Amino acid sequence: MSRQKRSKNAPRTGSLKTVSIPIKGSTLLDVENLTVTFPTVRGPVDVVKDSSFRIDPGKTLGIVGESGSGKSMTSLAIMGLLPEGGEASGRIRFFGHDLLDRSDREMRRVRGDKIAMIFQDPLSSLNPYYTVGVQIAEAYRAHRGGSKAAAKKVAVDAMRRVKIADPEQRVDHYPHQFSGGMRQRIMIAMALCLEPDLVIADEPTTALDVTVQAQILDLMKELQEETGTGMLFITHDLAVVSEVADEVLVMKGGETMEHGTAEEIFSNPQSSYTTALLDAVPRITDVVGDIKGVSHE
């Protein structure tokens, strides 16, 4: 676990229990001048440089970049889960409360409950030794308590919401008994069962087939509309981002290349890097539209 650097004179904004109570005029997530630093043999390296963005409830920000652009480190910094040695500085305000200012213990109450995360590879992200039901339910129990039976019911409901057929049976199955797309649905069920205010999705569709990708994206959009959570969607795929994002931030080598509404970025890119990325992508939006019509999982 990383020791996150805390800005020394940051005001202590409210106590632990009030993290979810918004400070007046604050927004869901407001990241200001976030810099993530890792020590290397050749001295410290900034993998994220001075990044700033905000996400409003119900909205989706897409962070686009190639691998090594710092997009995943941004999400891990928000979760307080930077790999060993990593240090984050700047401000990460969640409803006005600076998350970099929280102890690890306090962050644990935020993780899973207020901010949930969906990872790229659903197979390695699920523990092979426990049933999916146990893994969905344990987040619920850790934050809300209650009996095992009650938690299992929550898991079944969550699986039903992500449209897994026969959830009463499937809840007792192990991750390897599901297909890739179904596993990602389970990850989504796990992330959403506590109705978090913010979902961070780190390349949630990259490991999936194109047809399954489209289904998962549809599901995520649908659930977001239902619950009104904000979303931080991280991907290297501009086509995917065009499907889901309201705002887009383009990163390269830890630096923000461009930041604007999805419309602005796609119709009128300002940075030459974004133009290059856009040129590299065929009109996938059309393709995805076609595929949706025939897709069955």
- Using CA of residue 121, residue 126, residue 131, residue 135, what is the dihedral sign? negative
Rounded to whole angstroms, the Cα distance separating 246 from 231 reads: 10
Size of the site for other proteins (CB under 8 A): 32
Name the minimum Å distance from CB 162 to other proteins.
Answer: 16
CA angle 240, 47, 53 (to 5 degrees): 55
Q: Return the number of the residue (201 or 265) whose C-beta is nearest other proteins.
A: 201
CB nearer other proteins, residue 138 or residue 246: 138
Strands of the sheet with 43-55, listed across from one edge = 43-55, 29-40, 87-94, 97-98
- Coarse DSSP helix, strand, coil percentages of the chain, rounded to the nearest 5 percent: 40, 25, 35
Q: Which of residues 124-163 bind other proteins (CB under 8 A)?
A: 124-131, 135, 138-139, 142-143
Tokens encoding 11: 């005001």
241 strand-pairing partners: none
* Stretch of 17-25, 47-55, 102-110, 219-227 contacting other proteins, by CB under 8 A: 102-110
CA–CA distances in Å: residue 288 to residues 32, 125, 211:
35, 26, 8
- The owner of tokens 């999705």 is 201
- Identity of the residue, 80 or 269, whose beta carbon is nearer to other proteins in the bound complex: 80
With contacts defined by CB under 8 A, name the span among 41-49, 104-112, 149-157, 274-282 that binds other proteins: 104-112
Binding mask 79-98 for other proteins (x = CB under 8 A): x-x-----------------
> Which C-beta is closer to other proteins: that of 88 or that of 250?
88
From residue 185 to residue 204, the character string flagging contacts with other proteins as x (rule: CB under 8 A) and all else as - is: --x--x--------------
Smaller CB separation from other proteins, 2 or 235: 2
198-202/97-98 β-pairing: unpaired
Helix 148-161 crosses helix 180-192 at what angle (to 10 degrees)? 120
Of the candidate spans 107-115, 150-158, 163-171, 224-232, the one that interacts with other proteins by CB under 8 A turns out to be: 107-115
Mark 111-130 with x for binding to other proteins (rule: CB under 8 A) and - for no binding: xxx--xx-x-x--xxxxxxx
Degrees (nearest 5) of the Cα angle 105, 108, 113? Answer: 145
Shortest distance, position 104 Cβ to other proteins, whole Å = 8
Instruction: Return the number of the residue (151 or 214) whose C-beta is nearest other proteins.
Output: 151
Q: How far apart are CA 131 and CA 179, in angstroms?
A: 14
Asked if 38 is part of the footprint of other proteins (rule: CB under 8 A), the reply reads no
Q: Which residues bind other proteins (CB under 8 A)?
A: 1, 79, 81, 107-113, 116-117, 119, 121, 124-131, 135, 138-139, 142-143, 174, 176-177, 187, 190
